[in-house]
Structure formats: C-alpha cells, structure tokens
Amino acid sequence: MLLILLLPAGIGLMALAWFIHGALLERMSQEFVASQLKDEAAFLEHQLRQSGGRIDRLRTGDYFQEVFHHAFAIASSSRQSISPESWAPLLSPLLAVDRQGTLRVQHPDVPDAPSDILAYRRSFQVNGSPIIVIVAEDMEVLHNNQAELQAWTAIFSILLIILLVASIWVGITVSLRPVVTLQAALKRLQCGEISRINVDGPEEFRPLVQQLNQLLDSLDQRLERSRDALANLSHSVKTPIAAVRQILEDTSRPLDEKLRREMASRLGDIDNQLEAEMRRSWFAGPQVGKSAHPVKQARDLLWMLGRLYPEKSFELTTDLTQEHRWPIEEHDLNEILGNLLDNAGKWSSRCVELSLNDNSGQIRIVVSDDGSGVADEARDQLGKRGFRLDEQKPGHGLGLAIVLDIVHRYEGQLNFSISQMNGLKVAIHIPGPN
C-alpha cells in the first residue's frame, strides 16, 4: 500500500522536474545564445567603424564561422555580404525589417538551410552611411543537444525511480519484520503452541507486546480465580446445605424454635458466603485499557459518607487534577475507597482524612481517622476474612479482606499504623504501569 501511494507521487514529481528542467534549459540556452550574438554584433560594429564603413576591408567568408561559429549578414547602401550563402533566404528578409534586437525565424521549407534560427539585428551609421549587421545561430543543433540531454535525464530519472522503489521495498521489509514475527507469534498463541508472546522487536512494539502479555496474565488470573471461587463456594455451602437438608428430612423430630434458629444460622452462613463471592466478582485486578478518575470518585464517596455520618468530617487532600487517571478499574477503586472510608467513619470520633498522591507513577492512598486506634497485636489480624474488632458494630468482617485482595492483585502493599490523630492509618501503595 505504501508503494502504491508513493510510486505515482514519485513518478509525478520526477515528470514535473523533467519538464521544468527542459523549460529552464531552453530558456537559459536561448538567453546565452542571444548574449553571444549581441556581443558579436557589437564586435562587427566596432570593426566596421574602424574601417570607415567599408565592408570590403572586413575578413569575410569562413572567418566568422570559424571564429564565432555563427552566420552573419552585413548590408550598407552600396554593398551586401551574407555568410554562408545558403543562409541568404533566411537573413535577406531580416535586412529589410526595421525591428532591432533578437529575432526568431523559422522556415522549414528552405533547402540547405536550418529551419530554426535565432538572430540579432543591429543598425547604425558610419560617416552618415547606414549599416545593418545581423548575426544568427542555428538552433537545431542546440535543440538536438538539448534533446539528447533530456533523454539522458529521463533515463537517469527512471533509474532513480527504480532505485527508490527498491529502497522503499527493502526498508519496508526490514522495518516490518518485527510485525511479521509478532503475527507468527500470535498465530502460534492461537494454536496453543505457546502461552506468552516473546518477541524481540523495536522499542515501539515493546509496549504492545507487554500489554498483550498483561492481558493474557489477567485472563489467566481471572480464570484461576473463577475456578477457585467456584470450588470455595461449593465447599463452603455444601456443609450448611447438608445440615439443613438433614433437618428437613428428619420427620421424627419436630421443627421447634431451636431447630428454626439453627436452620436460620445455616442459611445465614450460606447468604454471607454468596454475598462475599458476589462482591469478589465485581473486582478482577488490573484490566488492560481500564482506568479511573480518583479525585472524582473520592469526592462522590466523601459526599455520600458525609450524609451517612453527618456528625463527622471527611476531608480530601490531593495534588491531582479532576481529569487525572489511574490504571485501576472503577469498581476496584470504589471498593478500596468505599471500604476504607466506611470503616474510618464507623471508628472515628469526629474526623476522617483521605490523601491521594501519584509520585513518579507510584499510586498512594492514605486514610486516617481520630478514633481509638488498633492495638499492635491486633493489627496483624486486620484484613483476615471474618475478623472483627467489635461485634457490636454492623458488618461481616469482609471489607478490609476485600481491599487486601484487590491491592494484592494490583501488586500493591497495604500497611496499618498509628495516625497523627492517634487513630488508625491505612496506607496503600500500588506501582504504576511500566
């Protein structure tokens, strides 16, 4: 396609340059010849003035053709001389005209004479006697030489176009060799011969290969998590379902209040497990091409939590703009910020602070509160599924566990420490894209 687009343009430009070259060469040649004719006419005038206007004292015949390589015609009131004589039918009419300067004469039907000449006519007086001098050049010879030059120029132009096409073809073949290699690798990947793309290409193709491999990793991780989730869900609900089924099938025992509470407890365990797995399905770690606006999402969550906890203050500290993006899926970022801010709102006394930063591609999320904090021995338990510091607070003990799962899937870290307000400080560090 590149050759199809470039070849007509190259041919057109070469043809245009060829025509311009011919026109300029014709113009320059004519101007050069005209300048020579003018100088020779001035020389003849000088010789005639020195001879007192007597033409017979001039050396005529082949002298001017050998020296100047031009034909001439000199006429006075008493005598006329034209050399060579075969040019007389062309130059004689010019002696009778009144026009001065450069003249172009074309007589293709005159025998033994050129069909195209360029002449310079000059008239003057010597001792009161009028004299006319004409010097002429055969333009056919010049045109033949120009035509030969133009032919060689056309030949070299064609050779240059062929060389240009060959150079483009070689350049395209060499430059696109990584694309062919990548295409072959994709075909092998489709056939199942390889699991990842390993192509050594130019710098421009490395991000593409990296993104493709990252997409494959993401798909494999999703498949593995789906299988694990199904296995865990099947294993976790199998026992409660068996217990409920046993109770219902045992007709010898009456369905009293104790059994009802036991069945409700078992069904509650199943419901909690299903809820956890459904929430886990909303986040899947890094997804290629997905991004989130952290500032916008944070402000929306802070506004909502401010209505949920009207007696507490939620503050946002960031140097990011409203349009800034993070390579995190929106659902994942909502899970992280929502769970951390909701926990901080529950445990804080009056104030919750959220800090968002992006230093050299490193994503940093910090949530601090002024609550009672967490003891050192209990911090190691934070993030474990089902662990709750206070059973009186509503919840299932899954929020921090979900946050921890998301952070790990983005290859990040989650740390717990004491905030400056003597409450809990949760700091998340997630590496940016390479």
169 lies in some domain:
no
Tell me, yes or no, whether 199 lies in a domain: no
Instruction: Give me the CATH number covering residue 60.
Output: 3.30.450
Q: What is the pLDDT of residue 352?
A: 93
**Distance between CA atoms of residues 271 and 275, nearest Å:** 6
3-state secondary structure of 129: strand
Print the domain residue range for 59. 2-144
DSSP secondary structure string, 289-352? Answer: T--B-HHHHHHHHHHHHHHHSTTSEEEEEE---TT--BSS-HHHHHHHHHHHHHHHHHH-SSEE
Cα 172 from chain centroid?
17
* Domain end (from 95, 128, 144): 144
- Are residues 263 and 304 both part of a single domain? no
Burial class of residue 137 in the structure, from the number of CB atoms within 10 Å of its CB (0-12 exposed, 13-18 middle, 19+ buried): buried
Tally of structural domains, the chain: 3
Q: Is residue 173 part of a domain?
A: no
Residues 74 and 128 in one domain: yes
Q: What is the pLDDT of residue 172?
A: 79
**242 lies in the same domain as 310:** no
Cut 0.95: pTM above it: no
Q: Are 339 and 399 spatial neighbours (Cβ–Cβ below 8 Å)? A: yes
Q: Which of 280, 310, 339 marks a domain boundary? A: 280
Say which amino acid occupies 214.
Q
What pLDDT, on the 0 to 100 scale, is given for residue 397?
Answer: 44
Q: Tell me if 287 is assigned to some domain.
A: no
Q: Are residues 264 and 312 in the same domain?
A: no
Q: What is the pLDDT of residue 70?
A: 76
* One domain, residues 256 and 319: no
Residues forming beta bridges with residue 92, ordered by sequence position? none
Shortest CA distance to 26 belongs to which of 153, 143, 120? 143
Cis ω for the linkage preceding 240 (within 30 of 0): no
Asked if residue 351 is part of any domain, the answer here is yes
Instruction: Give the pLDDT of residue 395.
Output: 41
**Of the residues 113, 144, 175, which one is the last residue of a structural domain?**
144
Looking at the fold, whether 342 and 387 belong to one and the same domain comes out as yes
Q: What is the pLDDT of residues 304-347, one digit of tens each?
A: 888 888 899 999 999 999 889 888 888 788 889 988 998 888 88
Which residues, given as ranges, of the chain have pLDDT below 70? 56-69, 107-108, 110, 112, 199-202, 228-229, 231-240, 242-243, 246-247, 253, 255, 259, 262, 266, 269, 272-273, 275-290, 377-381, 383-398, 433-434
Is the domain of 225 the same as that of 273?
yes
Classify residue 258: in a domain, yes or no: yes
**The residue to which tokens 């300029």 are assigned:** 24
117 within 8 A of 73, measured Cβ to Cβ: no
